[in-house]
């Protein structure tokens, strides 16, 4: 009896295992452990090709600066007594903006004036002193003339004649010495006058006036501080900076590879980091003739772009970027990322037969056109391009549906691959149809 029960149990287990194996094998083809991919083909975006204008631009970073900016420094060393205006306030040309301590310069002026007066008195004294010798000289010359006549007639001796001549020479020497002394005094008087002019000039420089209409953008000193005059090796004290904020420019750093395309009067669009939602218009006004080096060693040319503000005031020193319009082109325009370089050896036979394929090159620019739900690799010849768009000169026609993204999908495409359009209704329906069979096959029943 026990043997029969054991045999029956083994038989039942064997039949159950056979049934399970048959049912599992029938389900294994349709059972899915992962989600459906939602249909076949790469998911892409496309745009219809149109003929329009492409604006070619050169981009460059830069910094906003006022057209006119003046650093106000002291021309004499002294302490600040008065600062009537503060940072951010508007000043007019001729307004007193700084007053320095003038006591020392006033004393120097008075001392110079005293020296001048002393020299004037000396001059007058010397002119009075020389008047006597000059009169005596005139009398001695007249006496000598008479003595010479008497000597000719033999009325006087040669000794008398020689004495008269010596007297004239002696008086002439005294007069000449007096004249030289007067010349020296006159020179001293002129020097005293120059000292006075210098002292007056230094005194006047203790009162500093605004050289332009503008705004005080930087104030580096306060009342009571000592300001010093700069020398060749040491910079002087810059007390403040005044800028005319009504006319601003962008000092752009145009790469040396782009500078040949840039010219004066070209229009530009300026985007300032501090005003992210605004675009300012501008025009190229001046281009440097000498290359400069940036901190990283790269070369650039300083290019001044005048900003159109229409009476608006913006801050100085802001970082910005400029797009300079260098040319306009008409043609078939596609996004630049739609054009990819493909190795000629990787082209299909149909694409490789295109007359636009240059066998002397290793790669060829191509775009993918959608035809009957498939991506058709199409060699093209490209023209000018902007930062985001490219003109296709040959290879495509208006209204062609060019695949423009995603870029990863474009890179993975091959000629003839099936594609699906992002956001299309057919894609959603196909996804729904593909999900239903997997759902039915996922229900597993095991019975005996």
Phi, psi at 138, each rounded to 5°: -65, -40
Alpha carbon distance 236, 231 (integer Å): 7
Alpha carbon distance 328, 330 (integer Å): 7
Q: Which pLDDT band holds residue 211 (cuts at 50, 70, 90)?
A: very high
As a whole-number percent, the residues of the chain with pLDDT over 70 amount to: 84
Q: Which pLDDT band holds residue 324 (cuts at 50, 70, 90)?
A: very high
Question: Does 229 have pLDDT greater than 90?
Answer: no
CA nearest to 340, candidates 397, 401, 414, 398: 414
Which has the minimum average pLDDT: 96-105, 155-164, 291-300?
155-164
Block residue for tokens 């004495």: 163
Question: Does 140 have pLDDT greater than 60?
Answer: yes
Q: Please give the pLDDT value at position 130.
A: 83
Q: Please give the pLDDT value at position 359.
A: 86
Alpha carbon distance 100, 84 (integer Å): 12
DSSP for 419-430, written as a single string: EEETT-HHHHHH
CA nearest to 53, candidates 391, 397, 394: 391
User: Hey, how many other C-beta atoms are within 10 angstroms of the C-beta on 402?
Assistant: 22
CA nearest to 192, candidates 127, 125, 113: 113
3-state helix, strand, coil in the chain (%, to 5): 35, 35, 30
**Average pLDDT score over the chain:** 84
User: Hey, how many other C-beta atoms are within 10 angstroms of the C-beta on 339?
Assistant: 21
**Tens digits of residue pLDDT in 62-86:** 999 999 999 999 989 999 999 999 9
Those residues with Cβ within 8 angstroms of residue 35's Cβ, 6 or more apart along the chain or in another chain: none
User: Hey, how many other C-beta atoms are within 10 angstroms of the C-beta on 256?
Assistant: 12
**Tens digits of residue pLDDT in 18-55:** 554 444 334 333 333 333 334 567 899 999 999 999 99
As a whole-number percent, the residues of the chain with pLDDT over 90 amount to: 51
Report the relative pairing of strands 374-379 and 363-371 from DSSP bridges.
antiparallel
């Amino acid at each position: 009896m026990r043997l029969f029960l054991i045999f029956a149990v083994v038989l039942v287990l064997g039949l159950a295992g056979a049934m399970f194996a048959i049912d599992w094998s029938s389900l294994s083809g349709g059972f899915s452990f992962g989600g459906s991919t939602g249909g076949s083909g790469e998911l892409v975006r496309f745009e219809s090709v149109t003929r329009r204008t492409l604006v070619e631009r050169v981009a460059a970073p830069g910094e906003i600066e006022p057209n006119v900016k003046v650093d106000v420094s002291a021309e004499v060393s002294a302490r600040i007594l008065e600062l009537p205006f503060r940072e951010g306030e508007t000043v007019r040309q001729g307004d007193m903006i700084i007053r320095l301590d003038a006591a020392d310069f006033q004393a120097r002026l008075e001392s110079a004036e005293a020296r001048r007066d002393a020299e004037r008195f000396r001059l007058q004294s010397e002119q009075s002193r020389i008047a006597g010798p000059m009169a005596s000289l005139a009398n001695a010359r007249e006496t000598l003339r008479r003595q010479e006549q008497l000597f000719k007639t033999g009325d006087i001796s040669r000794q008398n004649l020689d004495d008269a001549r010596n007297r004239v020479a002696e008086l002439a020497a005294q007069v000449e010495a007096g004249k030289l002394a007067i010349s020296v005094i006159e020179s001293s008087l002129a020097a005293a006058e120059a000292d006075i002019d210098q002292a007056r000039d230094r005194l006047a420089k203790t009162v500093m006036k605004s050289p332009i209409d503008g705004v005080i953008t930087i104030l580096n000193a306060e009342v009571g501080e000592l300001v010093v005059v700069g020398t060749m090796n040491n910079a002087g004290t810059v007390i403040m900076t005044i800028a005319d904020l009504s006319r601003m420019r962008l000092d752009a750093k145009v790469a040396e590879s782009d500078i040949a395309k840039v010219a004066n009067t070209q229009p530009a669009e300026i985007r300032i980091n501090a005003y992210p939602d605004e675009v300012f218009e501008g025009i190229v006004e001046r281009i440097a003739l000498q290359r400069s080096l940036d901190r990283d060693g790269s070369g650039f040319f300083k290019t001044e772009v005048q900003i159109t503000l229409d009476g608006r005031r913006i801050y100085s020193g802001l970082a910005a970027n400029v797009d300079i319009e260098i040319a306009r082109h008409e043609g078939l325009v596609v996004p630049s990322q739609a054009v990819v370089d493909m190795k000629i050896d990787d082209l299909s036979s149909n694409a490789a037969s295109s007359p636009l394929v240059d066998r002397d090159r290793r790669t060829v620019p191509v775009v993918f056109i959608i035809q009957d739900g498939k991506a058709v690799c199409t060699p093209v010849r490209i023209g000018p391009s902007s930062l985001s768009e490219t003109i296709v000169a040959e290879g495509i026609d208006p209204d062609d549906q060019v695949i423009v993204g995603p870029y990863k999908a474009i890179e993975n495409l091959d000629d003839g691959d099936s594609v699906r359009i992002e956001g299309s209704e057919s894609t959603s329906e196909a996804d729904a149809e593909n999900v239903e069979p997997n759902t039915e096959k996922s229900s597993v029943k095991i019975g005996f």
